Structure 1
């Protein structure tokens, strides 16, 4: 195998290894960045929903609770969970946010709309088993879409919540008339009864990250290819071509052609090699002349 071929193959191997390593590192960075971006969106939505919950609990509920016992029909707007869910549905009406979801996923809800499915129930039970866990995040496939979820425990901190969720005799009559007597009772103070869970569509963000990855790796590959081609041409012009010329002249001299010339050389290592061959040619020429005179 010629030196040029060896050098070219060596450069290609080195650059392929470099591309693989840099691609792996870049993929990890982009994936972490995408997850961080998704988590940031989920956190912002969670904070917004909790703000609505606090507002409803502190300012709206005190105005509406006294009416619950006098009304035949329950007033759900007095319940923070209902207010948060309804507000979020308005938020989802925008096409940009139609794939976002929020739910107070409850094991035993009054309104069955808030009933936790099996996946969410497992999260609630985990929060119950691990009181030190304050947040759980990950990915879930729903309706053919990949969603990123952030879940937080939902314990009963306010005694006002227990009025509607302990026993039937304490619950407002309008609530019983609306939701019945089977669900949403038996809650206890400080008990984790649900999880606040936000679902954020992740596929578009990961698609953008993958697209950026392909663009960057394409640019890097083109740069590496250009470097290989340039290095190969420089090697041929500055090293291999000159060595080949020296070898040709040396071959001519070896068969007795003393008129062959190495020509002018640059002041570098290959030039020094050519000068050494030049001196050897002169020495050989002198020796040949001496032999001819003796003969």
Structure 2
């Protein structure tokens, strides 16, 4: 079937096959690249949010807690706990449209507030930070029954001695805190010890959606470029190859039927032009041969002696 098609149709099919194969291969590569870019973009946002929460913790520890010191002697105020302040600020931030899909947790192995207790998966992250102090950041996907999520984690350590005022031993902790949370959890921390991890979660669909949106846009642009290329190639092929070949074919057919008054036009110096020149030389040779054939034979007269 392919051999019965016209030259322009063959080129169109060939270019279309190249387009499909090119889009398929580039689509796979592009999807991987854009997914990595989306992960980096989400990671960058998550790290910015973590730095913001660190600032909130430091503000709470340096300015809020000292102001509530006298009150803490008689009644416990959770607003004085840096982890509590960070969590509450983040929840307020999530009310903004850009961050509603982000979730924040200070997953701690031995927290005062059970809300911050690390689950089995988060515990493995904390243990990795503890066993590999040089690892400062972990990001990957986590599978959950409700769907995959993407997470970014950083180690959380006891960086200030003021933290030990509440988390060293129960006998030095504020009585009001013991009344609220008891003495079973949140103690025996040590300075510079990694006690948990800052983790920001975001649904994996958000990462994949970002990648797909970028991939779709680029694919449409590439497809448009290929379509325009196929159109331009067809126009060029029709003008520079198909039409000249049709003219040469038509003239050759007329010459084959004995019409020697037609001429092969030399419109270019490329292969098509060389073909026209070859046909022109062939026509001249054929014309000369036909003239010789049409020439009447000469008469030879022998003289007789007398």
Which interval holds the TM-score relative to the shorter structure? Answer: 0.7 to 0.9
RMSD over aligned CA atoms reads 2.7
Distance 1:257 1:98, change over 3 A: same
Name the structure 1 match of 2:53. 49
- Determine the C-alpha separation between the residues in 2 that align with 1:147 and 1:100: 10
Of residues 83, 87, 96 in structure 2, which corresponds to 1:85? 87
Between Structure 1 and Structure 2, how many residues are aligned?
Answer: 292
TM-superposed CA distance for 1:83, in Å, is 1.6
- Determine the C-alpha separation between the residues in 1 that align with 2:26 and 2:148: 27
State yes or no: 1:40 paired with 2:44: yes
State yes or no: 1:240 paired with 2:242: yes
Q: Deviations over 1:88-146 (max 9, x none)?
A: 22223345433322111111111101111122111111111111111112233557355
- Determine the C-alpha separation between the residues in 1 that align with 2:281 and 2:57: 95
Whether the aligned pair in 2 keeps the contact of 1:262 and 1:274 (CA below 8 Å) is: no
- Determine the C-alpha separation between the residues in 2 that align with 1:152 and 1:161: 19
- Determine the C-alpha separation between the residues in 1 that align with 2:145 and 2:90: 19
Q: Deviations over 1:181-226 (max 9, x none)?
A: 2212222222211111122455345424412321331232133123
- Determine the C-alpha separation between the residues in 2 that align with 1:239 and 1:116: 72
- Determine the C-alpha separation between the residues in 2 that align with 1:56 and 1:96: 25
**Where does the alignment leave 5 or more consecutive residues of structure 1 unmatched?**
none
TM-superposed CA distance for 1:273, in Å, is 2.5
Of residues 70, 74, 77 in structure 2, which corresponds to 1:75? 77
Of residues 201, 214, 226 in structure 2, which corresponds to 1:224? 226
TM-superposed CA distance for 1:227, in Å, is 1.9
- Using the size of structure 1 for normalisation, the TM-score is 0.86
Map 1:193-208 onto structure 2 (within 5 A): 193-201=195-203, 203-204=205-206, 206-208=208-210
TM-superposed CA distance for 1:5, in Å, is 4.5
- Determine the C-alpha separation between the residues in 2 that align with 1:272 and 1:93: 74
Map 1:114-125 onto structure 2 (within 5 A): 114-125=116-127
- Determine the C-alpha separation between the residues in 2 that align with 1:63 and 1:83: 15
Name the structure 2 match of 1:100. 102
Of residues 61, 68, 74 in structure 2, which corresponds to 1:64? 68
- Using the size of structure 2 for normalisation, the TM-score is 0.83
**Where does the alignment leave 5 or more consecutive residues of structure 2 unmatched?**
298-306
| Residue range with higher mean Cα deviation, 111-120 or 163-172 | 163-172
Of residues 273, 283, 287 in structure 2, which corresponds to 1:281? 283
State yes or no: 1:188 paired with 2:190: yes
- Determine the C-alpha separation between the residues in 2 that align with 1:56 and 1:172: 17
Q: Deviations over 1:37-92 (max 9, x none)?
A: 21221112111111111111112222333443x31x42222221112112222223
State yes or no: 1:257 paired with 2:258: yes
Distance 1:15 1:52, change over 3 A: same
Distance 1:19 1:96, change over 3 A: closer
Q: For the pair shown, which has the larger CA radius of gyration, 1 or 2?
A: 2
TM-superposed CA distance for 1:161, in Å, is 1.9
Whether the aligned pair in 2 keeps the contact of 1:57 and 1:79 (CA below 8 Å) is: yes
- Determine the C-alpha separation between the residues in 2 that align with 1:17 and 1:192: 51
TM-superposed CA distance for 1:266, in Å, is 1.1
Name the structure 2 match of 1:214. 216
